[in-house]
């Protein structure tokens, strides 16, 4: 099986690592923040220092689809979350019958189990800690990429990561799970593997208005031709010199 490096030890990175390890792969998850979860729900909320996650102490609501997938794939996470005080709830069930028409068969699909972000992440981390084949390295920042000869003609091959500025950690696959502040664009550019398109000032202005919620979409994109420009940038922005491998090719390569 493959050795896989997952960059980022948050909810997505840990969940990815657990699932890959259970498929028989050797997985190393790197996490820049040093501290891990300790104590009960209140300890996690008040004392867990997680500077790499901006929204760590903001309100969170895990969607029903997350609960459905977790109960199917990683039911232990749901058990850990409920043991820490996670709440099983339904937004639909909280509404009056006058709005919903009353309870119906199948409404249970709208139920979820949720909690504050530190508590949810601690539940996933607890399962990751006891998962065979998964190594979680906290306090380890990825500073570069390791490249190798192309496996598919015309497609750059990332064969690992550099940590601490010098140590190379080789892998068959590198997964970026660092979220919206991912350093991957810069890391790829440093190896001449990615050429980012220069920002379009009109698109940037519209995006800023939408992100800051200072304008409705109909107003932010009202300028003639702007919506078409946004769509075309999304479909033509330069990424790699050739299309990457398909999912089937990728899985076949991992063995």
Find the CATH number of the domain harbouring 175: 3.50.50.60
pTM of the model: 0.78
- Between residues 122 and 205, the one the model is more confident about: 122
What residue spans of 27-116 are helical by DSSP H? Answer: 41-47, 64-73, 75-83, 97-100
Whole-angstrom Cα distance, residue 215 to residue 220?
6
- Between residues 150 and 146, the one the model is more confident about: 146
Note whether residue 215 is domain-resident.
Answer: yes
Residue of 15, 113, 116 whose CA lies nearest to 58: 116
Domain interval for residue 209:
201-236
What is the pLDDT averaged over residues 35-49? 95
What is the pLDDT averaged over residues 182-208? 78
Statement: residue 249 has pLDDT above 70: no
Statement: residue 47 has pLDDT above 70: yes
Instruction: Choose the weakest-confidence range: 92-96, 145-149, 226-230, 238-242.
Output: 238-242
When pLDDT is cut at 50, 70 and 90, the band that residue 242 belongs to is: very low
When pLDDT is cut at 50, 70 and 90, the band that residue 29 belongs to is: very high
> Mean pLDDT of all residues in the chain?
86
Q: Do 125 and 156 share a domain, yes or no?
A: yes
- Between residues 211 and 240, the one the model is more confident about: 211
Q: Do 162 and 229 share a domain, yes or no?
A: no
Note whether residue 168 is domain-resident.
Answer: yes
Note whether residue 226 is domain-resident.
Answer: yes
Q: Do 136 and 219 share a domain, yes or no?
A: no
- Between residues 69 and 193, the one the model is more confident about: 69
CB 128 within 8 A of CB 18: yes
Note whether residue 94 is domain-resident.
Answer: no
Q: Do 35 and 126 share a domain, yes or no?
A: yes
Whole-angstrom Cα distance, residue 206 to residue 78?
39
Note whether residue 124 is domain-resident.
Answer: yes
Note whether residue 8 is domain-resident.
Answer: yes
Number of domains the chain is built from: 2
Note whether residue 227 is domain-resident.
Answer: yes
CB 175 within 8 A of CB 169: no
What is the pLDDT averaged over residues 91-105? 88
Whole-angstrom Cα distance, residue 240 to residue 243?
7
pLDDT for 48 equals 95
Note whether residue 109 is domain-resident.
Answer: no
CB 37 within 8 A of CB 120: no
Q: Do 192 and 226 share a domain, yes or no?
A: no
When pLDDT is cut at 50, 70 and 90, the band that residue 195 belongs to is: low
% the chain with pLDDT above 90: 54
Q: Do 138 and 188 share a domain, yes or no?
A: yes
Q: How far is CA 197 from the centre of its chain?
A: 23
- Between residues 173 and 237, the one the model is more confident about: 173
pLDDT for 241 equals 43
């Amino acid at each position: 099986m493959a050795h896989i490096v997952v960059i980022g030890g948050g909810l997505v990175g840990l969940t990815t690592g657990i699932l890959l390890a259970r498929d028989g792969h050797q997985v190393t998850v790197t996490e820049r923040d040093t501290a891990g979860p300790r104590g009960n729900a209140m300890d996690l909320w008040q004392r867990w220092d997680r500077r790499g996650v901006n929204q760590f102490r903001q309100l969170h609501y895990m969607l029903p689809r997350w609960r459905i997938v977790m109960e199917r794939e990683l039911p232990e996470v749901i058990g850990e979350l409920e043991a820490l005080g996670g709440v099983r709830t339904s937004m639909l069930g909280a509404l009056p019958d006058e709005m919903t028409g009353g309870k119906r068969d199948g409404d249970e699909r709208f139920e979820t189990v949720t909690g504050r972000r530190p508590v949810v992440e601690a539940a996933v981390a607890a399962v990751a800690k006891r998962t065979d084949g998964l190594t979680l390295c906290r306090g380890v920042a990825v500073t570069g990429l390791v490249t190798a000869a192309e496996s598919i003609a015309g497609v750059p091959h990332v064969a690992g990561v550099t940590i601490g500025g010098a140590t190379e950690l080789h892998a068959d696959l590198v997964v970026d799970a660092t979220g919206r502040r991912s350093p991957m664009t810069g890391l790829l550019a440093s190896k001449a593997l990615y050429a980012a398109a220069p920002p379009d000032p009109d698109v940037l202005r519209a995006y800023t208005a939408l992100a800051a919620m200072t304008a409705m979409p109909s107003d932010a994109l009202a300028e003639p031709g702007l919506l078409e420009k946004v769509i075309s940038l999304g479909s033509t922005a330069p990424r790699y010199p050739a299309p990457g491998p398909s999912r089937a090719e990728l899985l076949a390569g991992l063995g």
